[in-house]
């Protein structure tokens, strides 16, 4: 009973002290994270928090491309980015609310069971990899393959995609489903969400090694980001993420997000 009373009191305090409007920076066409229709898990997360705070959600829609933070948070058009890598330099971040990983995606009927960048079959299979732009800015899996001299059989799928189409990042998972490529290396939340919608059963396996060289991790903790000059909002969001941890975990499971160990615990991989 004392625990229940504490939770109820915490909720009342947050509602009294929290903002009346939660100004959120979000991408309008980026499922499973967010879209303008409010169908992403980040949309659902901020709605949950706003209800607790007695606040309304106000979105600033901006495609998550280069310059995103500069044109949203730093331009003070909005106050919180609900899905950013923990401890990113340009922002203050909350406690992480999930930890996920890049995964190998294959069709179950192929029986490939790829789990490692060192699998020799990767030198001959058709591989899809998410790309950002020039090599210096590419995703960790793209660098991992390049480090092993795997170039000629790799097909790039732009992370941003064609915004004239719904859910442009889905294309890489759909290519595996169609059989256009044999295996794809995809950020876990995106892979899990679109694999669940595929016509053929797909297998997802966390990539190994989880750290490929000193600067290319495949596992990331994800937090909510705010400006460094807004510690009060960060503290409010931290309290909500802690109080609502069970609901957040269930929300991520609903969207088939691959979740690793408790993001607040040390990484067991070392």
Domain locations in the chain as residue ranges: 2-98+220-254, 101-206
| Band (16; pLDDT cuts 50, 70, 90) | very low
| Band (18; pLDDT cuts 50, 70, 90) | low
* Residue-level pLDDT at 137: 64
**Spatial separation of the C-alpha atoms in residues 183 and 9, rounded to whole Å:** 50
Q: Please determine whether the domains at 2-98+220-254 and 101-206 fall in the same fold group of CATH.
A: yes
* Residue-level pLDDT at 87: 83
Express as a percent the part of the chain with pLDDT over 70.
Answer: 88
Higher pLDDT, 268 or 256: 256
89's tokens: 């330099």
**Spatial separation of the C-alpha atoms in residues 141 and 59, rounded to whole Å:** 32
| Band (213; pLDDT cuts 50, 70, 90) | confident
- Candidate from 14-23, 87-96, 208-217, 229-238 with smallest mean pLDDT: 14-23
* Residue-level pLDDT at 129: 96
Q: How far from chain centre, in Å, is Cα 154? A: 23
| Band (120; pLDDT cuts 50, 70, 90) | very high
Q: What is the mean pLDDT of residues 227-242?
A: 97
- Say if strands 21-26 and 56-61 run parallel, antiparallel, or are unpaired: parallel
- Rounded to whole angstroms, the maximal C-alpha distance in the chain is 63
* Residue-level pLDDT at 247: 98
Higher pLDDT, 265 or 208: 208
264 pLDDT more than 70: no
2 pLDDT more than 80: no
Using an 8 Å Cβ cutoff, are 222 and 99 in contact?
A: yes
Express as a percent the part of the chain with pLDDT over 90.
Answer: 77
* Residue-level pLDDT at 239: 97
25 pLDDT more than 70: yes
* pLDDT, tens only, 130-147: 998 655 468 999 999 999
CATH of span 101-206: 3.40.190.10
* Residue-level pLDDT at 165: 85
* Residue-level pLDDT at 134: 56
| Band (261; pLDDT cuts 50, 70, 90) | confident
Q: What is the mean pLDDT of residues 4-8?
A: 42
Output the 3-class SS for the chain.
Answer: CHHHHHHHHHHHHHHHHCCCEEEEEECCEECCCEECCCCCHHHHHHHHHHHHHCCEEEEEECCCCCCHHHHCCCCCCCCEEEEEECCCCCCEECCCCEEEEEEEEEEHHHCCCCCECCCHHHHCCCEEEEECCCHHHCCHHHHHHHHCCCCCCEEEEECCCCCCCCCHHHHHHHHHHHCCCCEEEEEHHHHHHHHCCCCCCEEEEECECCECCCCCECEEEEEEEECCCCHHHHHHHHHHHHHCHHHHHHHHHHCCCCCCCCCCCCCCCC
Taking CA atoms, 147 is separated from 144, 209, 212, 270, in Å, by: 5, 13, 9, 22
**Spatial separation of the C-alpha atoms in residues 116 and 261, rounded to whole Å:** 20
Predicted model pTM: 0.87
Using an 8 Å Cβ cutoff, are 48 and 250 in contact?
A: no
* Residue-level pLDDT at 6: 41
CATH of span 2-98+220-254: 3.40.190.10
* Residue-level pLDDT at 30: 94
**Spatial separation of the C-alpha atoms in residues 16 and 71, rounded to whole Å:** 30
- Say if strands 92-93 and 21-26 run parallel, antiparallel, or are unpaired: unpaired
* Residue-level pLDDT at 11: 47
Using an 8 Å Cβ cutoff, are 204 and 104 in contact?
A: yes
């Amino acid at each position: 009973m004392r625990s229940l009373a504490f939770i109820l009191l915490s909720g009342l305090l947050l509602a009294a002290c929290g903002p009346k409007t939660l100004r959120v920076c979000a991408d309008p066409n980026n499922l499973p994270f967010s879209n303008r229709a409010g169908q992403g898990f980040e949309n659902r997360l901020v709605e949950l928090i706003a209800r607790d705070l007695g606040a309304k959600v106000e979105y600033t829609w901006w495609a998550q491309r280069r310059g995103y933070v500069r044109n949203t948070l730093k331009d003070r058009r909005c106050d919180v980015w609900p899905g950013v890598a923990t401890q990113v330099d340009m922002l203050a971040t909350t406690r992480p609310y999930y930890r996920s990983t890049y995964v190998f995606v294959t069709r179950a009927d192929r029986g490939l069971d790829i789990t490692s960048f060192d699998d020799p079959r990767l030198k001959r299979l058709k591989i899809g990899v998410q790309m950002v732009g020039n090599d210096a800015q590419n995703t960790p899996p793209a660098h991992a393959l390049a480090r092993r001299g795997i170039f000629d059989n790799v097909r790039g799928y732009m992370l941003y995609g064609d915004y004239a189409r719904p859910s442009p990042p889905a294309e890489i998972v759909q290519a595996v489903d169609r059989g256009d490529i044999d295996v794809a290396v995809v950020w876990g939340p995106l892979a899990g969400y679109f694999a669940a919608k595929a016509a053929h059963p797909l297998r997802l396996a966390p990539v190994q090694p989880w750290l490929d060289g000193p600067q290319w991790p495949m596992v990331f903790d994800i937090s909510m980001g705010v400006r460094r000059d807004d510690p009060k909002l960060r503290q409010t969001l931290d309290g909500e993420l802690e109080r609502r941890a069970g609901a957040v975990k269930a929300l991520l499971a609903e969207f088939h997000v691959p979740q690793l160990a408790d993001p607040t615990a040390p990484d067991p991989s070392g």
